[in-house]
């Protein structure tokens, strides 16, 4: 398996607004969607990770919108793990129109690993690190 | 306090779709919103009810759409408790345009009381029954 | 092609609430999703229908919730056209858990055909009637 | 009127996820909400601006999440206009818990002004500039 991880979906009516295109907060929900699929593809579905004692909360998000995602068109969601810290994960995500490969949006999410019960920060479990390293383009660096 | 309970809100951009009006599933989310406000007005905010050992799940919903709720207009949400069963609650909810009182939608929700941990059906706690009876138009009837 | 039309999807994190299951208004958004897919499968994608001078608004929705749709599980959405009136369409929709076929919810939507510009009621175009008749279980009846 | 503009709302059940807190894309929908209220407070409700020939699309969004917004708690949304370019607007937005003033999130949105029909970039109308300057902390600068 090599980065970026790809997942295809189709823009839903429920995701579009009066401008006839997807409402901009919904692009972040697609960021979330591709990461859920990445976990599954990596062999650690999200519900299983939580049962294993690690949950993720988002600490930071950034997104640049390049062109509009329109109702009913297929889009590709691409995710790459950029950085595995001791307690955090940074991913780059982009969204392309499937038909012509046009870039619609790109951005980053930084997740922090927490204990699902206390919601306190905790180190990335070895299993999580192993799964994510399949989708990492650069050598893993250890950092805060 | 007398039925119906009223709560005013304003149609958000995020709730509207390509037709320029609120997307129809979002009316059910407004039904949910007015009930949350009804619990609070009745003296038992929803989070407190859950901590008290009772949660609610929706078993049935019905809605007739009469006219469109448009972006940025104020709407009144009206709720009346129709029936308090031994384990279930039926409410009638309607949505009016604030400006002219025009009926936009009306419908019913049937909730079943469950234990928040097991999600198993349980009887309505006395406190819940007492709170809801403030918003009941008909005499309380005991039934399944 | 024979009724019911089927479309599979997976429950998203964004669709679930504090009870750990899909929030009940979101089931209606799935109803909408399966109909969008039904239009496409029938040869008349929704955007094309609108360009052809016919849009649909929902006049009535009803749903019975039987069991919870949980995060990350696959669900089957099944749609059958029950009635083609002169200006309206009634569909039956159900949602099953893919893993074991368990019924999660079932309900009906009644759509009314409108002109996309004026939003005034109009007769069902012949093309729409033809597309939908592929998914009709009963003989088409002409009615209001 | 002086910056920042403030609008209070309450966290809805529909906005929360399995972690018991608001789902992170929904914070961007709150960013959108406070700007809609800012337009209205400034004397140019959003629908009126569109009718006047100017619509806004989001080109960039960034957000840092500091603490969780929980179901049913009141939050304050604060918006300040940071920069009025020739065709774009940059706003800083933050979200505080109403009860104790704790910062929950902060970020920026960059909007680009477009023609509502062609969706092509256009200059900020004088009326828009005038309305927004009420909420600007720094002297207006002219730039791309």
- Tens digit of each residue's pLDDT (9 = 90 or more) over D58-90: 999 999 999 999 999 999 999 999 999 999 999
Is C29 in contact with A46 (Cβ distance < 8 A)? no
B90 Cα distance to chain centroid: 9
C22 Cα distance to chain centroid: 18
* Chains near C (3 or more Cβ pairs under 8 Å): A, B, D
pLDDT, position B19: 86
pLDDT, position C1: 52
Chain B environment of C64 (Cβ under 8 Å): 59-60
Residue C94: DSSP 8-state: E
pTM attached to this predicted model: 0.93
Selecting from C32, C40, C72 the residue whose C-beta is nearest the C-beta of A14 gives: C32
Q: Give yes or no for C24 touching A (CB within 8 A).
A: no
Is B72 in contact with D36 (Cβ distance < 8 A)? yes
pLDDT, position A137: 83
Closest chain C C-alpha to B138 CA, distance in angstroms? 24
Report how far residue B5's alpha carbon sits from residue A138's, in angstroms, rounded to the nearest whole number.
58
Tell me what the mean pLDDT of segment B115-139 comes to.
91
- The per-residue pLDDT of chain D, averaged, comes to 93
Closest chain B C-alpha to A87 CA, distance in angstroms? 30
Question: Under 8 Å CB-to-CB from C41, ≥6 apart: which residues?
Answer: C1, C5
Closest chain C C-alpha to A7 CA, distance in angstroms? 13
The confidence band for B142, taking pLDDT boundaries of 50, 70 and 90, is: very low
CA distances C113 to B67, C21, C128, D21, Å, are 14, 33, 10, 39
Q: Which residue of B has its CA nearest to C112?
A: B65
The interface residues of chain C toward chain B in range 34-93, judged by CB-CB distance below 8 A, are 55, 57-65, 68
pLDDT in tens, chain A (144 residues): 567 999 999 999 999 998 889 999 999 999 999 999 999 999 999 999 999 999 999 999 999 999 999 999 999 999 999 999 999 999 999 999 999 999 999 999 999 999 999 999 999 999 999 999 999 986 544 444
Q: What is the 3-state composition of chain D as percent helix, strand, coil, each rounded to the nearest 5?
A: 25, 40, 35
CB A87 within 8 A of CB A113: yes
Selecting from B12, B14, B32 the residue whose C-beta is nearest the C-beta of D13 gives: B32
Chain C environment of D71 (Cβ under 8 Å): 18
pLDDT, position C81: 96
Domains in chain D and their CATH numbers?
A: 5-133 (3.10.129.10)
Selecting from A19, A58, A119 the residue whose C-beta is nearest the C-beta of D65 gives: A58
Is A46 in contact with C72 (Cβ distance < 8 A)? yes
**ipTM field:** 0.92
Question: Under 8 Å CB-to-CB from B30, ≥6 apart: which residues?
Answer: B9, B75, B77, B95
Selecting from D14, D18, D25 the residue whose C-beta is nearest the C-beta of C25 gives: D14
């Amino acid at each position: 398996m090599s980065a970026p991880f790809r997942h295809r979906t189709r823009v839903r009516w429920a995701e579009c607004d009066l401008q006839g295109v997807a409402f901009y907060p919904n692009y972040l929900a697609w960021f979330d969607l591709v990461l859920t699929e990445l976990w599954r593809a990596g062999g650690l579905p999200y519900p299983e990770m939580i049962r294993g004692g690690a949950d993720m909360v988002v600490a930071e998000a950034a997104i640049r919108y390049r062109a509009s995602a329109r109702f009913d068109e297929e889009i590709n969601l691409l995710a790459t793990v950029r950085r595995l810290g001791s307690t955090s994960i940074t991913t780059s995500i982009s969204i392309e129109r499937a038909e012509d490969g046009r870039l619609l949006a790109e951005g980053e999410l930084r997740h922090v690993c927490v204990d699902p019960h206390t919601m306190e920060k905790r180190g990335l479990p070895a299993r999580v690190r192993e799964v994510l390293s399949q989708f990492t383009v650069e050598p893993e660096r250890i950092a805060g």
